[in-house]
Amino acid sequence: MASLEQNKEVVIIKYNAGNIQSVWYALERIGVNAVVSDDHDRIRNAGKVIFPGVGEASSAMHYLREREIDKLILQLKQPVLGICLGMQLLCAHTAENDTACIGIFDEQVRLFKPSDGKEKVPQIGWNTLYDLKTPLFEGIDNGAYVYSVHSYYADLGTHTIATSNYIHPYSAALWKDNFYGVQFHPEKSAETGERLLKNFIFTIK
């Protein structure tokens, strides 16, 4: 297995938004022993940072602000991967309880509105990815399936590096400098998710 930079930890940011255990286990399945922490120094010195999240945006941002983790994230220089709510919180603003977020990506986060009353919100299940860009998706083909659960989505924009379609096209992944975000759950997306996590951990510099 390719090795991570020596002595550099993979840190999963600990906060009040679920799925941390699932992300930790998914990393374990690809041979990575990650650390779950909210310690600023530990996060700052990590080789890779994962910012997970399942939950509600305003309470998550409140928790992050109280501990100044939002400011810390803005200053990070190593690769950072936001997952689901984590990705949305890396955007500037979400419509979920009209919440100002961390502000890496300027794409707007909006609530899905069914076009004809038929589509269910949240979107729950496996959907396809297309228009894949950056080494994050190396070895992953257009049309690959990933698992998502979400009521809010980020618009397509200049930072979009993967697109999915539910009611309309939206950003399945975003990228700016050292910051990556995925709307879906790689930790629950079978082989495709495992490949993406491997790319993030072992390929992205």
Q: Assess 31 for contact with other proteins (CB under 8 A).
A: no
Does the active-site annotation cover 187?
yes
Of 56, 62, 187, 191, the active-site residue reads 187
Q: Assess 130 for contact with other proteins (CB under 8 A).
A: no
Q: Assess 26 for contact with other proteins (CB under 8 A).
A: yes
Minimal distance in Å, beta carbon 111 to other proteins? 12
Strand ranges, E, within 26-177: 35-37, 48-51, 80-83, 93-94, 99-100, 109-111, 123-128, 145-150, 152-154, 160-166, 168-176
Count of residues in contact with other proteins, rule CB under 8 A: 35
Asked if residue 79 lies in contact with residue 178, where contact means CB atoms within 8 angstroms, the answer is yes
Q: What single DSSP character describes residue 200? A: I
Q: Which two tokens stand for residue 151?
A: 């009521």
Q: How many residues does the chain have?
A: 205
Residue closer to other proteins, measured from CB, 48 or 185: 185
Pairing relationship of beta strands 109-111 and 152-154 according to DSSP bridges: antiparallel
Residue selected from 108, 127, 178, 203 as contacting other proteins according to rule CB under 8 A: 127
**Site for other proteins, residues 135 to 194, rule: CB under 8 A:** 145, 147, 149-150, 165-166, 185, 187-191, 193-194
- The Cα–Cα gap between 17 and 133 comes to 28
Of 9, 84, 101, 159, the active-site residue reads 84
Residues that bind other proteins (CB under 8 A): 18-19, 21-22, 25-26, 28-29, 54-56, 114, 120-128, 145, 147, 149-150, 165-166, 185, 187-191, 193-194
